[in-house]
Chain A
Amino acid sequence: MASPAEKMNLPPLPPGGGFLIAPVGSERIRTADDFTDDQRAFLKTAEKFAVERVLANAERIEHKDFPLLRRLLREAGELGLLGLDVPEAYGGLAQDETSSMLVTEAMAKNGSWSVTFGAQAGIGTLPIVYFGSEAQKQRYLPRLVSGELVSAYALSEASSGSDALGARTKAVLSPDGKQWVLNGSKQWITNAGFADLFIVFAKIDGEGFSAFIVEKGAPGFTVGPEEHKMGIRGSSTCALVFEDATIPFENLLGEPGKGHRVAFNILNIGRLKLGVACVAGCRNAIQLAVQYGKDRKAFGQAITAFGLIREKLAHMVALVYAGEAMSYRTTGLIDDRIALSSAKRGSLEHDKDVIAAIEEYNIEASILKVWGSEALSQVADEALQIHGGYGFVEEYAIERVYRDNRVNRIFEGTNEINRMLIPGTMLKRAAKGQFPLLELARSVGQAIARGELPRIGPGPLAREKRMAELNKYLMVHALQTAVDTFGPALSDRQEVLGALADIAIEAYAVDSAVARALQSARAGAVDPVAEACVKLYALESHERAYARAKKAIRATVVDPSACRGHLSTLRELFDEGPADVTALREIIVARTLESV
């Protein structure tokens, strides 16, 4: 039987992690050029809302004006911004992942709002969309989509954050079988201070990890005081306490004992959205930096005339180029995979296909989460630096951007946890025969042994294509060496896994950036700024990948002479340029200064 892809004459989709396998630029990736008219119009409305309603109220939001936040959620609901991922039968818009991402990006203009919005429209609503019963969907979704109800997602506990399955909150069925009795507490719950609805994870009889819907006012359920946070101060974060709290039996969400499916699948989506939002955050920070830098005079000239400032700007813009390439590529892959589903939109089968599509690309989601939050850390930091002393005071927006971003490396799975997941998932899939790591390792090994390494070919970005391929070689070589050395014990070698994750991240970033630029070429010529961004980013990234590969090898191969052998192999897998970075910088900065 022909697969749906064959029936529709579509090329088969690459698997999760497929960027390591396919040669750079060999598959069409989705980019901003592919947005539909609707998506562009959605983005316009979302950005207008973010600027005129959210940014215009940034001060009030920062000072925890929760009635205002609720009103803004309501307004967002009226505009349809809360319902992109919700089926039409429950008042939603049933749009694809790319549309949902674009709205998420627009909301990222303010950190507190972005997190409030994400807790509502993302992690607070999606568990019911994908795992709720028909009655639960009807009862809650229309009012979540309208913003009438506010929701929160309560997984973390004081003693278990990363180790989410180690939750201690317990649920016991009442003797008459009509109610669940919850005991325990939750920690760091976004929106808790004013939410009506809580997705709470607890273990039935202390064992079967499960999800429940708890409504505000449930007997025995209380919300703690607000935390005093470093950033996203305008968002609500509180603990939840359950003391013999009772909720109706039918408020179990999904199957008993299958709460991990709810928790992890929702986290996969959350990570992707967070990564994409961070890339948008980078764009906003750059805009603040350029606006400030153009006006600020020092030594008789605008500070944007100074080489070190220009270097920062070029670096930041190049990061965004790669980040966008990864964002839209990933959401596009998910959408294309969902489009293969033959089930009816909104049906249970379709939901399963959606979940499976998102899960398929969870390596990419983790990459985006780590890369995005760390890119924003750099960009926010440098954008603040460009402000000098003014960046250190609250009067300037960049100060808040800097504080607000810090949490992005902590929640939705810390960056350490996400780093472990990247090679971890690859290895797990390889063991199940779902990812051809062995074949890949063999072909890379042979190529190295025969000296048949990627060469500089014809056409634009030739060296960067080579660097993109070499990043993958570095990854595969280091990974295979680690597997050969440690076997299953590799899972305990976190420094090695972390370094491998970093190489994989660089591999995806450069592969995506090069593919995006090549694809956007008109009449064989790549836009000079895109070309400069890719060249600059590829160079930095490839150097990092090389450094991490050396780190992984040193931590793997302890015998000095064997280690030296591996290191000299790595040297062959490294292309050190040349590149006229000053000229590249100037191409980027000229356009950046002109366009802001």
Chain B
Amino acid sequence: MALKILVTAKRVEDPESKIRVKPDGSGIVTEGVNYKLNPFDEIAIEEALRLKEKHGGEIVVASIGGDRSMTEIRAALAMGADRGLLVKHEGPMDPAVVSAILAKLVEREKPDLIVLGKQAIDGDQNQTGQYLAELLGLGQATFASKVESLESEAEQKRQPGLLLSADGKKLTVLREVDGGVESLELSLPAVVTTDLRLNKPRFASLPGIMKAKKKEVKEIPAKDLGVDLAPRVLVKKLSEPPRRKGGVKVADVDELWGKLHGEAKVL
């Protein structure tokens, strides 16, 4: 049962680089900031690759952004995805806009499965997958995970954590919930968002990087998709978390009480 899978590859700030807020709070200072493929999307792509390796099929990777997002599409292609879609759109977006664009891509591509990271590590919104399922009227399983540890043999052998039924029509997804693991069964097509412990993404191999250059990437201007590109949520202001003040040593419990009660007023 070959599967056609649509995955996402968002370009996000690399948290290893120094992130600073602009003095006027309108955004972050982009100078000197490195970018990378959203790690949760990387997990989604890895899962798609494993499903393809087991069942056959095609993986289409989509990104929305400027020309630079091509780097992230190429990164996904270098991991092994088959072709790319770059929806060209500069300017602010919110999950409503992103999911509306993705819904249009799903209408065009008609994948059996859509796998996205549960969130992007820049805005940490965790909404796009949910919106998308709702827009498309499809079943959704968020925070896909698995029971086996990332050091297990199944993981070493790169077995998929998402389980396809024998007839290829249903997908079983495990998700971590408070106090246990929930098992969901979805009819395909469906939307799945990936959590951290689903898999360990492979590295893009050097031959993969070279092959990626030759794979097809279609550029689609966002305005051609006929969706409302105006975000419903506007970011008004960013500010840095207050700097941590240095701690103090207290001599005894009385002094501690005095500080907690009198100064910090937490007790």
Question: Using a CB–CB distance below 8 Å, which chain A residues touch chain B?
Answer: 37-38, 41-42, 44-45, 48-49, 78-81, 83-84, 93, 95, 594-595
- Asked, given contacts A41-B75, A41-B78, A595-B32, whether A80 binds B18 with beta carbons under 8 Å apart, the answer is no
Q: Which of B70-100 contact A (CB under 8 A)?
A: 71, 74-75, 78
The listed residue (A41, A95, A594, A595) touching B204 by CB distance below 8 A is A41
**Complex: how many Å from CA A37 to CA B209?**
10
The listed residue (A42, A78, A83, A594) touching B209 by CB distance below 8 A is A42
Least CB distance from B7 to A in Å reads 19
**Complex: how many Å from CA A154 to CA B205?**
30
Taking a contact as CB atoms under 8 Å apart, the answer to whether B210 and A49 are in contact is no
Taking a contact as CB atoms under 8 Å apart, the answer to whether B71 and A81 are in contact is no
**B residues less than 8 Å from A45 (CB atoms):** 203-206, 209
Question: Using a CB–CB distance below 8 Å, which chain B residues touch chain A?
Answer: 18, 32, 71, 74-75, 78, 203-210, 213
**A residues less than 8 Å from B203 (CB atoms):** 45, 48-49, 79
**B residues less than 8 Å from A41 (CB atoms):** 74-75, 78, 204, 209
Least CB distance from B119 to A in Å reads 22
The listed residue (B75, B205, B210) touching A38 by CB distance below 8 A is B210
The listed residue (B18, B32, B78, B207) touching A93 by CB distance below 8 A is B207
Taking a contact as CB atoms under 8 Å apart, the answer to whether B206 and A79 are in contact is yes
**B residues less than 8 Å from A38 (CB atoms):** 209-210, 213
Taking a contact as CB atoms under 8 Å apart, the answer to whether B206 and A80 are in contact is yes
Interface centre among B208, B209, B210, B213 (most CB of A within 10 A): B209
Least CB distance from A527 to B in Å reads 11
**B residues less than 8 Å from A78 (CB atoms):** 205
Q: Could you write out 19 A-B pairs with CB less than 8 Å apart? A: A38-B210, A38-B213, A41-B74, A41-B75, A41-B204, A41-B209, A42-B209, A45-B204, A45-B205, A45-B209, A48-B203, A49-B203, A78-B205, A79-B205, A80-B205, A80-B208, A81-B206, A84-B206, A594-B18
Nearest opposing residue in chain B for A596, CB measure: B18
**A residues less than 8 Å from B213 (CB atoms):** 38
**Complex: how many Å from CA A595 to CA B32?**
9
Least CB distance from A219 to B in Å reads 38
**Complex: how many Å from CA A162 to CA B213?**
45
**Complex: how many Å from CA A41 to CA B73?**
12
The interface residues of chain A, by DSSP majority, are classed as: helix
Taking a contact as CB atoms under 8 Å apart, the answer to whether A80 and B78 are in contact is no
The interface residues of chain B, by DSSP majority, are classed as: helix
**Complex: how many Å from CA A579 to CA B118?**
55
**B residues less than 8 Å from A79 (CB atoms):** 203, 205-206
**Complex: how many Å from CA A323 to CA B4?**
49
Taking a contact as CB atoms under 8 Å apart, the answer to whether B32 and A42 are in contact is no
Least CB distance from B252 to A in Å reads 23
- Asked, given contacts A594-B18, A595-B18, A595-B32, whether A37 binds B207 with beta carbons under 8 Å apart, the answer is no
Contacts A42-B206, A78-B205 known; 7 new A-B pairs at CB < 8 A:
A37-B71, A41-B204, A44-B204, A80-B205, A80-B207, A93-B210, A595-B18
Taking a contact as CB atoms under 8 Å apart, the answer to whether A93 and B74 are in contact is no
Nearest opposing residue in chain B for A79, CB measure: B205
Least CB distance from B40 to A in Å reads 17
Least CB distance from A189 to B in Å reads 28
**B residues less than 8 Å from A93 (CB atoms):** 206-207, 210
**B residues less than 8 Å from A49 (CB atoms):** 203
**B residues less than 8 Å from A37 (CB atoms):** 71, 74
Least CB distance from A573 to B in Å reads 39
**B residues less than 8 Å from A83 (CB atoms):** 206
**Complex: how many Å from CA A595 to CA B31?**
12
**A residues less than 8 Å from B74 (CB atoms):** 37, 41
**Complex: how many Å from CA A45 to CA B78?**
10
**A residues less than 8 Å from B207 (CB atoms):** 80, 93
**A residues less than 8 Å from B71 (CB atoms):** 37
**Complex: how many Å from CA A44 to CA B71?**
12
**B residues less than 8 Å from A595 (CB atoms):** 18, 32
**Complex: how many Å from CA A42 to CA B206?**
6
9 A-B pairs with the lowest CB-CB distances in the bound complex, closest first: A80-B206, A41-B209, A79-B205, A80-B207, A80-B205, A45-B203, A45-B204, A48-B203, A42-B206
Interface centre among A44, A93, A595 (most CB of B within 10 A): A44
**A residues less than 8 Å from B75 (CB atoms):** 41
Nearest opposing residue in chain A for B32, CB measure: A595
Least CB distance from B253 to A in Å reads 26
Nearest opposing residue in chain A for B17, CB measure: A595
**Complex: how many Å from CA A81 to CA B203?**
12
**A residues less than 8 Å from B208 (CB atoms):** 80
**B residues less than 8 Å from A44 (CB atoms):** 204
**Complex: how many Å from CA A37 to CA B70?**
11
**B residues less than 8 Å from A594 (CB atoms):** 18
Nearest opposing residue in chain A for B37, CB measure: A44
**A residues less than 8 Å from B205 (CB atoms):** 45, 78-80
Least CB distance from A284 to B in Å reads 15
Least CB distance from B42 to A in Å reads 11
**B residues less than 8 Å from A42 (CB atoms):** 206, 209
**Complex: how many Å from CA A81 to CA B74?**
19
**A residues less than 8 Å from B32 (CB atoms):** 595
Nearest opposing residue in chain A for B36, CB measure: A44
**Complex: how many Å from CA A41 to CA B211?**
12
Interface centre among A37, A49, A84 (most CB of B within 10 A): A37
Nearest opposing residue in chain A for B208, CB measure: A80
**Complex: how many Å from CA A594 to CA B205?**
32
**Complex: how many Å from CA A595 to CA B16?**
10
Nearest opposing residue in chain A for B34, CB measure: A44
**Complex: how many Å from CA A45 to CA B208?**
11
